Amino acid sequence: MKITANREALLAAFQTAAPVAPSRSPKEILRNVKMTVTNEETVLSATDTEVGVRLSVPQIDVAAPGSVLLPVDKFGLILRESSVEQLAIESDGNSIEVRGQHSRFKLPAQNPDEFPEVVSFYEQSYHEVPARLIRELVRRTLFATDTQSSRYALGGVLLEFEPERIIGVGTDGRRLAKMEGPAVAHNDHKGGDGMTIVPSRAMQLIDRTVTEADAEIAICARNNDILVRTPRATIYARLVEGRFPRWRDVFPSRDNSLKINLTVGPFYAAVRQAAILTSDESRGLDLSFTTGNLTLSASAAEVGQSHVELPIPYEGEQIDVTLDNRYVADFLKVLDLEKMIVVDVLDNESAVTFATDDGYDYVVMPLSREGRR
């Protein structure tokens, strides 16, 4: 194999693929990224056998096709520390030589034939989803998952497919984030027979791989795994086993609650200010809705007290609720500051819901004022 590569283009692709390779594994060969070079394209692939990616690399001049295993740590450092525009990469099967204008590196070579094959996307039945929606779905649901819990099914995002819609849901049992938007089913794609729970690592990979320049993304959910195709990459992931909570039951159905419009920017600023005097042991943020005003306050014996007021378009009786400040901030930080949200509050014992006008809903369970620590 012998190529000349644009260093920045190769670095960008390598940095997307490399995090998939496990830093520790009994299978040492997995700690590499495989480069496969043909006269038509150059593809990087990486896998830990649970999650995998195939990524097309642009701006490659091919002198001789072939394949090579690139060690994640050392080759990644070479790409990052070099400053030249072009790098020449050549392998004879025994070693890998990387040459810049004033540098040369020689790395040991492993047999690329022993590297596990990463699945390609040949499915005819799939959902076509706008790339912008996928990026928002990941960003708006992934933070609410629970990768530390023994409840394994919560360590991923649930995807549900309808003929003209896709729904993503993430929860850790204390709050729940749901994002939905338009999608088109091709050849009657409905997903697999069970729940499509995509592991958090795979969702992070999707977020890294899908770019603003992409238009449409293809998603095929099968019984045990999922395939995602972008214009330049294919992502594979085994699904998380287990049963996801009945998430629709979490959303309260009520007509007598307070529903008020707030702008994200001012509300987020008030939350951040009030949260200054919270602590790891005392995270409760008291929200008090009164006519024309929202008061946010916090109190921690070891750090002090905060009191922040925000004018709001509300007229009615006072309603108080205590929420974990982190959960409120997590929701607000993934939204544009100019965006309007609707806050739905009933009382200090009922779930609080937040909603946008573009298919995003968020539910947070309240803290008791006595048990806020």
pLDDT in tens, 87-124: 999 999 899 999 999 999 999 999 999 999 999 999 99
| pLDDT of 294 strictly over 80 | yes
Collect contacts of 293-298 with beta carbons under 8 A, ≥24 apart: 294/262, 294/267, 294/270, 296/270, 296/271, 298/274, 298/325
Q: What is the pLDDT at residue 150?
A: 61
pLDDT band at 369 (very low <50, low <70, confident <90, very high): low
Write down all domains in the chain, each with its CATH number in brackets. Answer: 2-114 (3.10.150.10), 126-247 (3.10.150.10), 251-364 (3.10.150.10)
Give the pLDDT confidence score for residue 373 in this predicted structure. Answer: 45
Query: Average pLDDT in the 53-68 region?
Result: 96
Taking the C-alpha atoms of residue 301 and residue 25, their distance in angstroms, rounded to an integer, is 46
| Full-model pTM | 0.91
Q: What is the mean pLDDT of residues 205-234?
A: 94
Residue type, 254: R
Nearest-5° angle of CA 252, CA 166, CA 248? 20
Q: Calculate the alpha carbon distances from 352 to 157, 327, 347 in Å.
A: 21, 11, 9
Backbone angles phi, psi at 251, to 5 degrees: -75, 120
Q: What's the mean pLDDT when you consider all of the chain?
A: 93
